[in-house]
Structure 1
Amino acid sequence: MTSPARVSLQAFLATARRALTAPPAQRQNPLTFVIGNESADLDSLCSAVLLAYFRTQTPPHTLHIPLSNLPRADLTLRPELGAVLRPAGLQPDDLLTLSDLPKDGLRPETTRWFLVDHNAPTGLLSSQFTSPSTSPPSDLLIGCIDHHEDEGTIPSSSSPRTFAKCGSCMSLVIDHCRSAWDSLPSSTLEQTEISSQLAHLALGPILIDTNNLASSDKTTPLDIRAVEFAEAKISVSAGYDRTAYFDTITRLKEDISSLNYRDVLRKDYKRWTDGGLVLGISSVVQGFGYLTTESGSREEFLAELRKWAGEQGLDIAAVMTVSTPQGKFTRELMIWAFGEGSVKVAREFVKRDGEALGLEAWRGGEMDELSKGEWRVCWMQRGLKHSRKQVAPMLREAMKEGAKL
């Protein structure tokens, strides 16, 4: 590798691309990937790049390839990503995605995987690489840094195996990479600018995930320390202003006016299988009022949600919204269960966790419907501290319990 002090993020990603697209006979074996979760939000995308960069730049200098966990076409659904990549000297086209995996295929045993911002393989990673039917997962999962609940799938032999509560997984990545970052020389203008670019990439997701460090429910001392550390790496010439940077990213993230319903539902989406049932949760940055009036009608939204659930093979489709009408932070939740078994699970979830979540009928229940084998309910969620990170495990636990009945 080139001297670490002189490798920009763009140069690093170009090296990773060449390694990934090399002919089979010339391909490094095994290839080591760093991958975020399927929602592919700022936290997952940026954490994978920064972690892979520093893991590569430090001994033993094994190339770590950051892989964005989405098809390349889906990058266009994330205009906020460009606002974070630009001051880091990058464009979305510089990122490596699932679409860039070799067309000749990769054998599981020729890969190694470092998970960031999740700790249980899903999607392509689960079905083609780390499934017990294809290869021993313990040989392939080499490390994990995550701020979700430990699901027990990461082998004890993996290193690091880091789990901690914080607003953004990037804060954990910075903590892990702090020594490596400090060890990079900054004696030249070029080296200082590279460090400044790294800092912009790191700060974007932390500021978004903690509401500019203002969210008392999400912000932890670790997030605050991470922001202070990264901001100290920004060059004076960068003209950085924390609030202005946060406002720019937020404005782009919340603008979904150009997206159709399918794009809205898949932009920030996660899918799980538990207890023989399939759950999908879409996180949306506008409320149901916006979705059923500004984006279209109530009937159109529900028809597209049903179509999306069918496309994804869901037994339970959930939509969680976050919005700030009149400047007030608001959460909403909709659950649509398909099939008698799924309806029982959804009802049990509400019975067990509804009070903790502060669920109240949305607009008098105008979106609710109970029909043969289906149950759809929409709520205001007064428990503001409970994001998908908390609600998904609740639903999944109800699915596991339902399978025992």
Structure 2
Amino acid sequence: MCFLRFLMQARSTLSRYLPEKAASTSGSPSSGSGSGSSSARHLEADSTARKLHLVLGNESCDLDSAVSALTLAFIYAQREQGHDYVPVLNIPRLDYPLKTEVGHMLNRCEITEQMLLFRDDLPQQLTGDINVILVDHHVSNLARHVVEILDHRPLESNPAMQLLPEQCVRHIEPELGSCATLIGERYLAEKQPRSSRVTQLLHATILLDTINFAPAAKRFCARDLAMVEQLELMMLEPAGGQFDDAENKRRRRSLFDELVAARADISRLTLAEVLRKDMKKLQTEHHTVPMAGLPMLVRDFIELNDAEQAIREFAMGSNLAVILGMFVPPGHGQVVRDVALISLTGQTQLVERVRKALLDCQTPPLNLQPHTIDTHFMGGCYLRQHNIQATRKHILPVIKRVLLEMEASQRCDCDDVYFFKEKPKLGLS
């Protein structure tokens, strides 16, 4: 089966297992279909022979996450035909237009939104014997269903990890610059399936994730580079072309610049949508911290009209918002980064503790310094990040540790608290 046909059939495959959801095109639940329907009886009879495996990307749904989910599901579906594999992009369908580089690259490969499944195509609670494969992340509220993980993020200490089944296979390799390299290794491990679109998608994704192998960024290892070179040879074979290192590097630069421009294209988005474009939420018992990744510097973003209103909308209900800016100037690929800490509720102590923790961070050192021109916009803290190799996956654990330490220090032991209905008699006159 070709890659496009596989994607077009994914919806009907999902609907066989979730008849009550019916995986509608709009992502909204369908009505009707009770538990006694013929489709439900068919599901019960068929489930002993086949299992549904949902291949789920992470909630930021960047190009790495989206391509890894789509391509791994296709690879497994062709090799394990006794079961069904369905890729799911881990965002609401409404947010897909925000993922500009994802839409650009998928359109380039003739993959339309109508071929894709999103988080709201699934029921709120998974029931039955359904397996989940996580790509480009390893913490999920679906942990009990997870049978395999393929990720390149540092291992998180999270209670959800304790809920993973004992038989869950874990491939967590932080040295890799891109999860797509892990998927590519699965792809090349056997002769089939092969798809020119899968080859293109994996190749483009690794280039973007590794900043086109920029030495200063240090976002890659030898396996990432070897994978891109193998994929380039595969792309040359049908045309009978010869490997030309200089020409290949020129093509890489052109494709990388195209993808960076697509990611930075916010011309059709509101500023609030720009903040949601690459957002993650850091969750603890008492805090929810939205973390936005911008395709521009935060220092430039706050100069835009309506920036304050957009940040208030983005961080509504939170004590702290973290905004990470990244800009790659066209032509030379030298990354520039900055960080903003903003509290809508005036939690200056929280902002200061997070700021100090980031300044003190040594794993890796972030090398944060104030911007050349200071600002007091919304009472926030704005810092230029001189270690361009550090990303959100390094910053998030530092902030989480601060929040957990604050929550622990604010707890009290109930055994030490006494309540009196009347003045206690202390035996004193």
State the alpha-carbon separation in 2 of the partners of residues 174 and 273 from structure 1: 32
Contact 1:55 1:61 (C-alpha < 8 Å) held by counterparts: no
Q: Which residue of 2 aligns with 1:118?
A: 137
Q: Which residue of 2 aligns with 1:47?
A: 68
State the alpha-carbon separation in 2 of the partners of residues 339 and 292 from structure 1: 18
Between 1:301-310 and 1:44-53, the stretch displaced more is: 301-310
Q: Secondary structure at the match of 1:232?
A: helix
Q: Which residue of 2 aligns with 1:176?
A: 186
Contact 2:67 2:202 (C-alpha < 8 Å) held by counterparts: yes
Q: Secondary structure at the match of 1:335?
A: strand
1:6-405 equivalences in 2 (<5 Å): 7-22=1-16, 23=19, 24-25=39-40, 26-27=42-43, 29=47, 30-59=51-80, 61-101=82-122, 107-121=126-140, 126=141, 130=142, 137-138=143-144, 140-151=145-156, 153=161, 154-180=164-190, 182-184=191-193, 195-215=195-215, 216-234=217-235, 235-237=237-239, 241-293=251-303, 296-297=304-305, 300-310=306-316, 313-324=317-328, 328-338=334-344, 343-355=348-360, 356-368=365-377, 370=379, 376-405=380-409
Q: Secondary structure at the match of 1:219?
A: coil
Q: Which gives a bigger RCO, structure 1 or 2 (Cα 8 Å, sep 6+)?
A: 1
State the alpha-carbon separation in 2 of the partners of residues 168 and 325 from structure 1: 21
State the alpha-carbon separation in 2 of the partners of residues 177 and 236 from structure 1: 18
Deviation at 1:210, TM superposition (A): 1.0
Q: Secondary structure at the match of 1:272?
A: strand
Q: Secondary structure at the match of 1:120?
A: coil
- Aligned residue identity for 2:389: K
Alpha-carbon spacing, 1:343–1:34, altered in 2? closer, same or farther (3 Å): farther
State the alpha-carbon separation in 1 of the partners of residues 178 and 240 from structure 2: 24
With the length of structure 2 as denominator, give the TM-score of the two structures.
0.77
Alpha-carbon spacing, 1:360–1:222, altered in 2? closer, same or farther (3 Å): same
Deviation at 1:369, TM superposition (A): 5.3
Question: CA-to-partner distance for each residue in 1:89-122, whole Å, 9 max, x for gaps?
Answer: 42232111123236xx65433432111111111x
Deviation at 1:72, TM superposition (A): 1.5
State the alpha-carbon separation in 1 of the partners of residues 212 and 329 from structure 2: 18
State the alpha-carbon separation in 2 of the partners of residues 100 and 338 from structure 1: 33
State the alpha-carbon separation in 2 of the partners of residues 19 and 354 from structure 1: 50
Contact 2:134 2:148 (C-alpha < 8 Å) held by counterparts: yes
State the alpha-carbon separation in 1 of the partners of residues 127 and 342 from structure 2: 36
Aligned residues: percent identity?
Answer: 25
Contact 1:17 1:96 (C-alpha < 8 Å) held by counterparts: yes
Question: CA-to-partner distance for each residue in 1:204-226, whole Å, 9 max, x for gaps?
Answer: 21111111122442011121122
Aligned residue-pair number = 361
State the alpha-carbon separation in 2 of the partners of residues 169 and 233 from structure 1: 20
Greater helix fraction, Structure 1 or Structure 2: 1
Between 1:212-221 and 1:268-277, the stretch displaced more is: 212-221
Contact 1:320 1:388 (C-alpha < 8 Å) held by counterparts: yes
Deviation at 1:275, TM superposition (A): 4.5
Deviation at 1:391, TM superposition (A): 0.7
**C-alpha root-mean-square deviation of aligned residues, in Å?**
2.5
Question: CA-to-partner distance for each residue in 1:213-254, whole Å, 9 max, x for gaps?
Answer: 224420111211221222222254499933332222222111
Between 1:249-258 and 1:44-53, the stretch displaced more is: 249-258
Alpha-carbon spacing, 1:325–1:214, altered in 2? closer, same or farther (3 Å): closer
Deviation at 1:71, TM superposition (A): 1.5
Larger radius of gyration: 2
Deviation at 1:13, TM superposition (A): 1.3
State the alpha-carbon separation in 2 of the partners of residues 142 and 315 from structure 1: 36
Segments of 5+ residues of structure 2 without an aligned counterpart are 20-38, 242-247, 410-429
Deviation at 1:318, TM superposition (A): 0.7
Deviation at 1:283, TM superposition (A): 0.3
With the length of structure 1 as denominator, give the TM-score of the two structures.
0.81
State the alpha-carbon separation in 2 of the partners of residues 67 and 238 from structure 1: 35
Q: Which residue of 1 aligns with 2:417?
A: none
State the alpha-carbon separation in 1 of the partners of residues 130 and 166 from structure 2: 19
Deviation at 1:345, TM superposition (A): 4.0
State the alpha-carbon separation in 2 of the partners of residues 305 and 18 from structure 1: 39
Contact 1:88 1:196 (C-alpha < 8 Å) held by counterparts: no
Alpha-carbon spacing, 1:77–1:119, altered in 2? closer, same or farther (3 Å): same
State the alpha-carbon separation in 1 of the partners of residues 348 and 80 from structure 2: 52
Q: Secondary structure at the match of 1:109?
A: coil
Contact 1:196 1:238 (C-alpha < 8 Å) held by counterparts: no
- Aligned residue identity for 1:118: H
Q: Secondary structure at the match of 1:142?
A: strand
Q: Secondary structure at the match of 1:247?
A: helix
Q: Which residue of 2 aligns with 1:190?
A: none
Question: CA-to-partner distance for each residue in 1:304-339, whole Å, 9 max, x for gaps?
Answer: 2022111xx323211101113586521010011355
